[in-house]
Each structure stands twice: as structure tokens, then as C-alpha cells.
Amino acid sequence: MTERDAETQRRSGAGGARPTIADVARLAGVSKGLVSFALNDRPGVSADSRDRILSAAAELGWSPNMRARSLSTNRAFAIGLVIAREPDIVAADPFFPTFMAGVETELSGAGQALVLATVTPGRQEADTYRSLALDKRIDGVILTDLRADDERIALIGELGLAAVTLGHPDTDSPFPAVSIDDEAGVTATVDHLVQLGHRSIAHVAGPSSMLHAARRRRAFERAADAHGITARTVETDFSATEGAAATRHLLGDVAERPTAIVYSNDPMAFAGLAVAQRAGLSVPRDLSITGFDNTDLAEHVYPSLTSVATDVAAWGAIAARVLLATIASEPVDNTDLPPARLVTRESTSHAPASPAPTPPAPTKNGR
């Protein structure tokens, strides 16, 4: 072992000591201040010095001490995601894990952390934002599930946090938005069903208080009106449980039973598919079914689910990237992602030539 190797081993924390900026500075032959500037990518460091410092840091296996870094910069190096839905709905909806995976791909490479909280809307939600801000646990937040006249916009501004919104709020907002045109996917769904001969189509929607659920409902109703077809909407909380209940309600109305049902997310569509089949209906021979989000399971259920596809992981990654840029006081603009698109599979087919026979009255547990 050479003398430099021995010195590197000593400085790299042999025996449990963690290498410090001072160790990097000694090995690179520069000041601690210059090391700090280089490692935080600040101006004022020559290319040669920066390369020497980064090489020394890599040789020592140096990594930032986040606690010390936070104290020295007055930053948390973390962003928040507060989800105001019931925990069982969050756990059952593949959107959130996929979205968070996208967020994490951006944060991990930037030395940032994600702070997640699941709360009930209202006072607990507002208190959670206040606590995260006052305790300096986060530098900014991703606002999901935007609502009509969303009070969180003003609250986040008062707390001095950076933010990015998923979609455009219906009120003035100082924050950049990252949006997907989900209306295009809903319109394509209705067009597809009408082309298959369906004239009675129902929509199982999310809560009208959420802007994206309201947008999808409006898109459905506009498309139905454009085709002059009979359309009905049942509102739910986005859960599979309420999706199943909405399906039982629609199928129980024999006089106006739809030949196709458009669900506002995949979990509700899966539940509706089970309810229909247990009630004795064949999908898609007697009833066509579509979902939204094109989750992985959509391709593997039987029949496979026609669904609207959005790149949820990319949405998360870009939202995190925009938020980090905002925190760093870099100029950012609103970002519009590619519009949602329809992926057709086995759960949709031509409308039945005659109404399906009346199935046994479906019960809550389908038996």
C-alpha cells in the first residue's frame, strides 16, 4: 500500500469515521470554502480545481451530511407531498405509487428527500402544511388533486413555500403548473364507443370538487352531446368500493341500463367489471367497460381493460424537476405534457343488437 493509499484510507473513514469537507480539502490541496463552492455547484471555482475536488471527494467516498448541509444553507433539501384522501383509497390506487416513483427518480439524483403525508381534507390538511413549513422540514410542495377555489394556493404562499401544481388551478396562482390534457382521452373514449354502435353510455365519475374529475365529466358530457347519445353520470369518491356501488346502481335500472360504462380511473373499472360479471353479464358482449390511467393490471385482467393512458411516472419526475428549479430560484414556465390517449383492449366491443337479459339483482358482495 502506497503512502497516498494509506492516507486515503485514513481519511475515507476507516474505523468508522466519516470523511469530511476538511478531508476533501486536504486531499485536493484547496481551502474548505472552495470545496463547499464546488460541491454545491456554485460559481467562482475553476474547472481544474472543480475536477480535482470532485476527484478527491470520490476517492474518499465523501457524501453530504444532510443535517449539516441543511443548517448551513437554511434549507431542508426535501419536498412535501400531502395527499388529502382516505388512506385505503390511496393504498388501492396505483396512480400514487407510480407518481411517487417518478418523483423519487428526480430527487435521488439531486440529494433530496420526499416527505409524504396522508390526511383528511380540511383543518388537518392545513395544519399539516403549516407544521411542515414551520418546522422547516420541506422547501416546497407538489399540490395534487386541485379543487375549485383551492384554498391551498393562498396558504402555501403565506407559508413562503415553493410549489408546483398538477394541472392549472381555477384561481390566480403564483406557482408553475405541470399539466396533462386528460379531456382528450375521455373524448377519444366516447368516440370509440359511439363508433362501436353504443348509444347509451354511462360515466362513473370522481368527486366534482376535484378539478380533474370535473374536467373529465365535462369532457364526457360534451362528447356525448356532440354525438346526440343518451348519457348518465354517477359521482363517486374515486374508490373501488363506490365504483362497484355505482355499477350496481346502473345495472339495476333495467329500463335505462347502459351498454357501456366509462370509469374515471382503473380501480373503479376493475370493480365494475367484477360486478357486471357476477351479475351474469358478459363483458364486452353485453356491456363494454373502459378505465382511466392505464395501470399495469389493465393489460392482465380478463378481459383486458380498454383504458386512457397517461405517463404518470414522467409526470412525477417533471413535477419534481420543476419544483427543484423553483426552489433554486431558476426561471420556470408551465409545462404541458403529451395529451392522454386511448388504449383499446378486450373490454370494449360492438353494442349488443338487443338488450342483455335481465341479470339477477346484484347484491353488495356480488352474491
Residues 236 and 319 in one domain: no
What stretches of the chain show up as alpha helix (H) in DSSP? 3-11, 21-28, 32-39, 47-60, 66-73, 87-92, 95-108, 123-134, 152-159, 183-195, 211-227, 240-252, 266-278, 312-327
224-278 pLDDT per residue, tens? 999 999 899 999 999 999 999 999 999 998 788 999 999 999 999 999 999 999 9
User: Which pLDDT does position 265 carry in this prediction?
Assistant: 96
Tell me whether residue 240 is in a domain.
yes
Q: How confident is the model at residue 66 (pLDDT cuts 50, 70, 90)?
A: low
Residues 167 and 193 in one domain: no
Whether 289 shows a pLDDT value over 90: the answer reads: yes
Residues 174 and 322 in one domain: yes
Tell me whether residue 72 is in a domain.
no
Residues 203 and 296 in one domain: yes
Q: Looking at residue 175, which CATH number applies to its domain?
A: 3.40.50.2300
Residues 6+ apart with CB under 8 A from 232: 202, 203, 250, 256, 258
Q: How many domains does the chain have?
A: 3
Tell me whether residue 367 is in a domain.
no
User: Which pLDDT does position 3 carry in this prediction?
Assistant: 46
User: Which pLDDT does position 25 carry in this prediction?
Assistant: 87
What is the average pLDDT across 51-57? 86
What are the grid coordinates assigned to 142, written together?
Answer: 407538489
Residues 173 and 139 in one domain: yes
What are the grid coordinates assigned to 255, written together?
Answer: 329500463
Residues 170 and 235 in one domain: no
Residues 217 and 259 in one domain: yes
298-312 pLDDT per residue, tens? 999 999 999 999 999
Residues 127 and 42 in one domain: no
Does the predicted model carry a pTM greater than 0.85? no
Q: How confident is the model at residue 365 (pLDDT cuts 50, 70, 90)?
A: very low
Tell me whether residue 305 is in a domain.
yes
Highest average pLDDT, of 70-79, 85-94, 100-109, 221-230, comes from: 221-230
User: Which pLDDT does position 16 carry in this prediction?
Assistant: 53
Q: Are 263 and 342 in contact (CB under 8 A)?
A: no
Residues 225 and 274 in one domain: yes
Residues 216 and 267 in one domain: yes
In which domain, by residue range, is 26 found?
3-63
Tell me whether residue 214 is in a domain.
yes
Tell me whether residue 362 is in a domain.
no
User: Which pLDDT does position 13 carry in this prediction?
Assistant: 47
Tell me whether residue 7 is in a domain.
yes
Q: Looking at residue 50, which CATH number applies to its domain?
A: 1.10.260.40
Residues 191 and 124 in one domain: no
Of 287, 309, 331, the domain-final residue? 309
Tell me whether residue 112 is in a domain.
yes
182-214 pLDDT per residue, tens? 999 999 999 999 999 999 999 999 999 999 999
pLDDT higher for 36 or 34? 34
Residues 187 and 286 in one domain: yes
118-164 pLDDT per residue, tens? 997 778 899 999 999 998 899 999 999 999 999 999 999 999 999 99
